[in-house]
């Protein structure tokens, strides 16, 4: 039996390639910005994701609070996200989770919260998709800012699939769509949703958390839909 030499081993490691979820190119480790199993986001694609600087003020219909979104929902981000959410490419979600967690890690205010609460899916949607895309990304944020994920919210009604629509009717429809657990009381909560579109889902989640006695709620999303 001949054992593999260190030189051969190094050669094998350096030959390892990862498929970029943005451009589809075979990429080696040095050109990959984030790696998850056999997938990566290459440095060129990552450079093409637009970052949001600092915090953006969110104006909801019911409350006015701060929200943090590290990225804009367009271009490469949107391409990767849609494949994750609707085509079952779970690895892509882990890569977006890594990018989101790292981008939020230096926001000091976020480190002081007691819980990250991902927006839940309805039981029907969870069975259909097999995973909650917001929970996967929230777990990476949790590690990055050292705040636990606690699933304090439940959906009380099955709402239609999130689409990029604007309008107050959706906002009103969603109030009452969530119920928060009793141990929400006195907690400082980061409410997390995948994409910030109209803010109506976040608003509904926040109403439920505040009704259950949350001391403070801030919003975090992975990406923000920009409109003029
Ligand atoms: Zn790429």
- Distance (angstroms) between ligand 1 centre and the Cα of 15 equals 18
Q: Which residue has the higher pLDDT, 182 or 176?
A: 182
Percent pLDDT > 70 in the chain is 80
Within 10 angstroms of residue 78's Cβ, the number of other Cβ atoms is 17
Judged by DSSP in three states, 32 sits in strand
Residue 60 banded pLDDT, cuts 50, 70, 90: very low
DSSP string of 196-222, one letter each residue: ESSSHHHHHHHHHHHHTT-SEEEEEEE
- Distance (angstroms) between ligand 1 centre and the Cα of 22 equals 5
Average pLDDT, the chain: 86
Give pTM, 2 decimals. Answer: 0.86
Percent pLDDT > 90 in the chain is 65
- Distance (angstroms) between ligand 1 centre and the Cα of 24 equals 6
Q: How far apart are CA 158 and CA 137, in angstroms?
A: 22
Per CATH, is 49-224 categorized as 3.40.50.720? no
pLDDT of residue 3: 59
Residue 67 banded pLDDT, cuts 50, 70, 90: confident
> Is the model's pLDDT at 59 over the cut of 50?
no
- Distance (angstroms) between ligand 1 centre and the Cα of 40 equals 8
Q: How far apart are CA 84 and CA 133, in angstroms?
A: 8
> Is the model's pLDDT at 102 over the cut of 90?
yes
- Distance (angstroms) between ligand 1 centre and the Cα of 216 equals 39
Mean pLDDT on 103-113: 90
**Could you say which DSSP state residue 5 is in?**
P
DSSP string of 114-153, one letter each residue: SEEEEPPPPHHHHHHHSS-HHHHHHHHHHHHHT--B---E
Domain residue extents for the chain: 1-47, 49-224
Range in 66-70, 83-87, 124-128, 212-216 the model is least confident about: 66-70
Which residues have their alpha-adjacent CB atom under 5 A from ion ligand 1? 20, 22-23, 42, 45
- Distance (angstroms) between ligand 1 centre and the Cα of 61 equals 38
- Distance (angstroms) between ligand 1 centre and the Cα of 44 equals 6
pLDDT of residue 192: 96
């Amino acid at each position: 039996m001949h054992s593999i030499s260190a030189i051969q081993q190094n050669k094998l490691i350096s030959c390892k390639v990862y498929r970029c979820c943005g451009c589809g190119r075979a990429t080696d480790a040095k050109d990959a910005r984030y790696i998850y199993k056999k997938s990566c986001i290459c440095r060129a694609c990552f450079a093409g994701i637009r970052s949001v600087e600092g915090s953006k003020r969110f104006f909801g219909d019911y409350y006015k609070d701060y929200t943090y979104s590290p990225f804009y929902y367009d271009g490469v981000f949107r391409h990767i996200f849609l494949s994750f959410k609707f085509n079952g490419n779970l690895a892509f979600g882990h890569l977006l989770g890594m990018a989101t967690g790292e981008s939020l890690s230096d926001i000091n205010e976020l480190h002081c919260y007691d819980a990250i609460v991902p927006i839940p899916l309805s039981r029907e949607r969870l069975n259909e998709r097999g995973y909650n895309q917001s929970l996967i990304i929230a777990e990476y944020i949790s590690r990055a800012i050292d705040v636990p994920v606690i699933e304090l919210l439940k959906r009380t009604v099955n709402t239609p699939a999130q689409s990029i629509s604007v309008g107050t009717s959706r906002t009103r429809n969603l109030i009452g769509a969530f119920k928060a657990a009793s141990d929400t009381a006195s907690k400082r909560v980061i409410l997390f949703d995948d994409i910030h579109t109209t803010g109506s889902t976040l608003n509904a989640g926040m109403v439920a958390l505040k009704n259950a006695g949350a001391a403070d709620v801030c919003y975090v999303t992975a990406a923000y839909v920009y409109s003029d």
